[in-house]
Every structure is written in C-alpha cells, then in structure tokens.
Structure 1
Amino acid sequence: MRHWDRLVERWSRDFGSSFVEDYSFAGAERHRALHRRVYDGRIEVTEHRIRLHNLPENFRGLRIVQLSDIHHSLFLPFHAVLDAVSLANRLKPDVIALTGDFVTYSRAYIEPVAAILGTLRARHGVFAVLGNHDFRVDAGEVTRALERHAIEVLRNRHTLIRHAGHSLPIAGIDDLGYSADLSRALHGIRPGAPSILLSHNPKIIRRAAHCQVSLVLSGHTHGGQINLPFAGTVFGRSPERMRFKSGWDRLGPTQIYVSRGIGTVVLPLRVRCPAEIPHFHLQPYDSSRAAPHRLSAES
C-alpha cells in the first residue's frame, strides 16, 4: 500500500493542476463518470442529540454539522465536494465544524476546495482545523485559502459562539503529528464549563478528558474505510479494533464523536463504510437521560 500511496502522490503532483483545470471546464462529465465508477458517492446524514453539562438553556437545540476528511484529489473531484457542501447547507446548521484533511497530495487542489467550502452557510460561522494531509501538502496555504473564503481556522486557539447573552467556547488544535498545543487552545476556558474541541485525530481524547473538555469532534480514521464481514477493518486510517474508529464514545467527562468522513485515501473505495455528515443537536444535560444517542425517526 505504501508503494501505491507514493505512486498516486507522484501522479497528483505531476498532473494535479491539469486535472483541476480539466474538471473545471470540458472534462467535468468525464471526471464525474470516472468517479461514479470507482466510488458511488453515497453520503449518510447521521442525526445525534448531545447532552452537555452546564449548557445554557439558550443553546438548547443548537445544530452543528461536521464535515471531515474531504481529501479533494483525483479520486474525490469537484462535483463530489460540491454535493457534500450542498447537503450540509440543506441542513441549515447553526455551526459548521470542518475537522481536517481537505486535500491529498497536491497543492493544486487547495484553492478549489477552499472556494467550494466557502459557500457553506451557518448562522454562527464555519470553523476548521487542519489534518495530517493538510500539513503534508502545505498547512500555511491551506489555512490562508480557507480564511480567504471566510472560514475561521482554529490553530491551537479557541473562539466563542455567542447567543442571547451566553457564550460557548469552540477550540481547535493542529494535527497531533505536527504542532498541536491543547493547553494553548484551551487557555482561558474555565474547567468544567461546556466546551467543544475540534481535533482531526481522535487520539487527543485522553488529554481532552484530563482537561475536562465536554465534547470532541474528530475524523482521520475514515471509519476504517474498508470493513469486511467477519474480518473487520482491513484498510484505512485506523488499526483494527481501534477503540475510537468511528461513532460515539466517552472517556471520563468527555464525549467524542469520530466521523467516517467524506473522502478516501490510497484506494478510491469504501466497503460497508459510507461517507458521513454528522448532524448534532445540543441539549442541556439531563441526569435521567445521560448518554448521547442517535436520533430515531420519532425524535
């Protein structure tokens, strides 16, 4: 797989600009057909209710949409990113959280994906953190491109979502393999106060729990990407049986959700692991219904 990964990286660097240009003009339908042959493009919107301790009543029902691991590249072209953005906008969220890995291999895809993501709309803003692939390609340029399109990039810092006289901190850190600084990101947030942390890599969970973060939103794992019956995860961004591969978990006071993401790496293929857009609904904590849960059709 590493040899294939290096080969694709070389192709992307050599031909990335021409493919982006071709897709934007005459090659659009050809790219769409190729993508659909290798990746069916299904995106599952998953609905979740999150209960946070000490959440002000004014934030009840706040809706957060998460997009993760877009990996805009030869294998996840322009129209596929546009489909995900359109679906996210139809949910009419209050906040949009982008949890990294916007591009794969080539700098040629940075500005196009940032421009598409710049059409995301949320009442309280669109917030992003960087993933390991963004650092491998060009973290500085990814940051600048996103910010040019009105996306707030949280690089080891936090901001406040303000509503009806109350505020909710939302923090973000760089990828754990590069320059992550959780202490700096959380500086000034009162311990025990409701808080949200965006971290591309879910391995931050132990440190986040130590710091009493309320909720972590992550990606990176792709949910395993290829999950076979009886064999489990055989390929993807997480080892088999990794605890925080996808979905909900909790460590101490901290809840975490790991999104399966949108794109793929190495192989343009998902097996029993559809792309995902999580849609979260915040609620004040109720001791009689303590655990987060996936919303039913009746909820």
Structure 2
Amino acid sequence: MTKVGGIVIIFIVLAFLFFLNWYVYQGVKTLLPVSWLTKGKIVYWLISGGISLWIGLAFFRIMQEGRISTTSQQTLNLFIIVTVTQLTIIVFLFGEDIFRGLSATWSYFSAGLSSDTAGVYPGRRKFISQLAFAAAVIPFTGFVYGVFKGKYDFRTIRKTIYFSDLPEAFDGFTITQLSDIHAGSFTDMEAVKKGAELAASHNSDLFVFTGDLVNHKADEIEPMMEAFSKIRAPFGQYSILGNHDYGDYSSWPSPEAKRANFERLKQQHKILGYDLLLDENRVLEKDGQQIRLLGVENWGVGFQSRGDLEKSLAGVADGEFKILLSHDPSHWDEQVKKHPKNIHLTLSGHTHGMQFGIETPLFRWSPAQYRYPNWAGLAEEAGKYLYVNRGFGFHAFSGRVGIWPEITVIELRRGKRGAV
C-alpha cells in the first residue's frame, strides 16, 4: 500500500476512535462530581487520545509492512477490546438519546411554542450511565479472558455421522482433525504442546490436518515440530495447504525467495510425518475393503483458487466412499456438493468461526456467518456432509471469545443416513 493510502487509513481509524471516545465521554461526565469535571476531562482525553494514536499508528504499520507482527497483533487486541467495550456503552447512551429526543419532541407539541420548556432536551440520567458502564464489564472481561486464556482453551468436539454405503470394515472408523494451526501467532509453547497432546490422546484411526500451518513463513512451525509430530494414527497422517501457506501475505525479496519458502513448508509437512495431498488421493484399506481420501490445494471464494477437484478424483470410481480435505468451506458450497460424483464427507477449516461468537444448543451467532454460509460445525445437503473445524490457532485477533480452539473427532458409522 502507498504512503497516501496508509495516511487515509490512519485518518479513518482515528476519526472512528474519536467518535467513540466523544460519545463515551458523554456518559463519563454524568458520573463525575462537578468539582472533577475539568480534571476528569483532561485525564480522559489524554488516556483515550493516547490509546487512539497508538492504535492508529499500528494500523499504519500493518498497511505499510503488509503483515501483522507480534506488536501490531497486541495493538489489534487492544483495539478490539476498547471498541467492543465502548460500543456496549454507546448502545445504552444512544437508547437514552432516542428517549430524550422523543421527550423533547413531545414537550414541543404538547406545551406549545410559547412555553420556555418546549423542545428542551432532558438531561442525561446518572443511572443510565452507571448501567452502561456496568454492562460493558461483561464484554471487556470476556475479551480479556479470550486474549490471555481463551485462545488456549482447547476443546474436543465429537461427531458421529451415519452413511448407508460406508464399507462394513470402516464401521466405527475414527478421524481426528486439526485445522488452522497458524504457528506464527503462538507465544505459549507449553500450551501448544498440551493441545497437541490432547489431539494425540484420542488415538483415532486417521489423523488429518486441513491447512494453514503457518501465518507467513515456513520457519514459524519449527518450535512446535516435536509436539505435532507426535500425533500418529494407524491409517496415517494426511494434510493439505491453506491460503496462508503459500506466503502470499508477506513481502519477499524475490520470487525465488518466496518459492524457496514454499518448498521448505512442504518439507516441514514431511518432517512432521504428514502426507501432504496436492490435488491427489490415497486408498485407505481395511479388511479387504477400501475408502478414498482426497486432498486439494486451497480453493476459496475471494482467495486464490489453486485446487483442482477433478485432478484429486483421478482414478476414483463413482461408487467408492470418498472423504475430501479442502481448506475453505466455500469450496463445498461452490463445487463439491454439486459434483456428479458423490463426495460423502468434506473436512474444512479456514473461518476460525471469526474467533468470536455465541454458541449454545438453542442459538448460534458469529460475524463469520455474514461471509460463510457454513462457518463452523456440520452441514448436510442431499446426503453430502461438510464439517468445518473452528481452528486450533488464531490470527490477527490474538484471542478467542465464545468460539474456542477445536480438536475434532469424527466417527463414521454404517447405517441410516444422519448425524449426532
């Protein structure tokens, strides 16, 4: 991005933050004693202005460097925590402003133009400001937890899927799936080790990794090689590439340097013990019966689509049971579920569930749903299934709130089609 473009971005960010700070201050000043108004105003604007300037400069650096460093990632955390907290306060203050406006309008028409009080806005109520700041403690606490603890709160999610045409020998076959490790984001190696050990402890028949091993560069995974290389399964360990694995989001001194990094990344998969599938398929055989495991390079709407589904299906008969590894779930929506060959199960990742949301048995919401029809969990259409893993790691926002890091364990069962 040009320097002019970076300046425009920083101006927009600062203007947005100034608006939030100004609106929140309308509530702050109702809580301050009269004797503290002047001092409180100075302190408030020094602190909020300093934070805003720091955030604005961090955005400028990100735009100039073309990547998110550890320092800028921490600043993004601060930006998100501050913004969500302030927006919570503003919801209450804005609601009160609507009420004040309606009250002023009512007094205007009921009292008449001759009245001195006609159209006069009632003052802000201290109780509403107190309520706003008390409510803001909830998202503030949640995001602080997400930054320091939530991003390492690994959860195992189990799903059982029934297929009427699953070969009998594979009835009860288990698959452990990891996705989106994003190794360059981690700082707590001990927590990562525990997460990898949890994945290994399930002792599944098959292990798969569905892309985004790193953020930018192949060497990011090196401190964690030992931990992830201990994940083993009787039917093997298989992997694919995600959009971050190609090095497209980093500046390189030359095209050759970028290609060398990519070749090194592929070698890292081999060292980890993962069979990297590049538009290929493998036969998994058990008791004389077999299923096919397919893997494609990254294919996604809005991203470079390198994957070739037809190539991965080479030599695969229509009637064979097929499992596809494809990083981006939009591939399933656009191609896989429409394909004339029945691909029974697709395993994806990519979305991270936007690392923020609400998931309960009765209600699910995440900003990811405005971008991806299938952003987490299991989906089915015409007997074809998609499972979207919420991701092991994190990127950009260095935290998780409500959408926790996931280790998936899927059990395949033979029977009437369905899932539990």
Q: Map 1:1-299 onto structure 2 (within 5 A).
A: 3=59, 9=67, 11=69, 37=148, 39-75=150-186, 77-136=188-247, 138-176=261-299, 177-205=304-332, 206-209=334-337, 210=339, 211-227=341-357, 232-234=365-367, 238=368, 240=370, 242-286=372-416, 290-293=417-420
CA contact (8 A) 1:63 1:95 kept: yes
**Match in the other structure for 1:23:** none
Aligned length: 268
The structural deviation recorded for 1:50 is 1.4
SS at 1:268 equivalent: coil
CA contact (8 A) 1:233 1:241 kept: no
CA contact (8 A) 1:8 1:266 kept: no
Q: Deviations over 1:128-171 (max 9, x none)?
A: 00101111264332211111232100110010111111111101
Q: 1: distance between equivalents of 2:236 and 2:167?
A: 19
The structural deviation recorded for 1:214 is 0.5
Q: 1: distance between equivalents of 2:392 and 2:185?
A: 14
CA contact (8 A) 1:46 1:279 kept: yes
Q: 2: distance between equivalents of 1:279 and 1:249?
A: 16
CA distance 1:149–1:233, shift in 2 (3 Å): closer
- Amino acid aligned to 2:366: T
Structure index of larger Rg: 2
Q: 2: distance between equivalents of 1:107 and 1:72?
A: 9
Length-normalised TM-score, structure 2: 0.58
Q: Deviations over 1:186-214 (max 9, x none)?
A: 11111132110001101111422213100
SS at 1:274 equivalent: coil
- Bigger helix fraction: 2
The structural deviation recorded for 1:283 is 0.7
CA distance 1:257–1:40, shift in 2 (3 Å): closer
Structure of greater relative contact order (alpha carbons < 8 Å, 6+ residues apart): 1
CA contact (8 A) 2:185 2:395 kept: no
CA distance 1:254–1:170, shift in 2 (3 Å): same
Q: 2: distance between equivalents of 1:215 and 1:74?
A: 30
Aligned-residue identity in percent: 27
RMSD: 2.9
Length-normalised TM-score, structure 1: 0.81
Q: 2: distance between equivalents of 1:279 and 1:117?
A: 16
- Bigger strand fraction: 1
CA distance 1:248–1:262, shift in 2 (3 Å): same
Structure 2: runs of 5+ lacking an equivalent: 1-12, 14-57, 72-145, 249-260
